[in-house]
Amino acid sequence: MADKVKDPVCGMEIRPEDAAAHEEHEGQTFYFCSEGCHKAFLKDPHRFGHPSHESSGHMHH
């Protein structure tokens, strides 16, 4: 019943309650499978928070 979320760093699908860490970035909450992914995200949130080459979900166009 819990929605799965994607760890933006490694791409793994996890449940929010199983996440090792989470982080809010520009109004969005991201969940991470491990502290390592969390730290990688914090180092460069724009790289992970704004995927520009995703083929899914072309809302604008």
Q: Is 37 in the site for Zn ion (CB under 5 A)?
A: yes
Closest to 48 in 3D by CA, of 56, 40, 59 = 40
Residue 4 to residues 11, 34, 39, 40, 48, Cα–Cα distance (Å): 12, 15, 21, 21, 18
Find the part of the chain contacting Zn ion (CB under 5 A) among 12-20, 23-31, 38-46, 48-56.
12-20
27 vs 32, beta carbon nearer Zn ion: 32
Site for Zn ion contains 33 (CB under 5 A): yes
Q: Which residues are near Zn ion by CB under 5 A?
A: 7, 9-10, 12, 33, 37
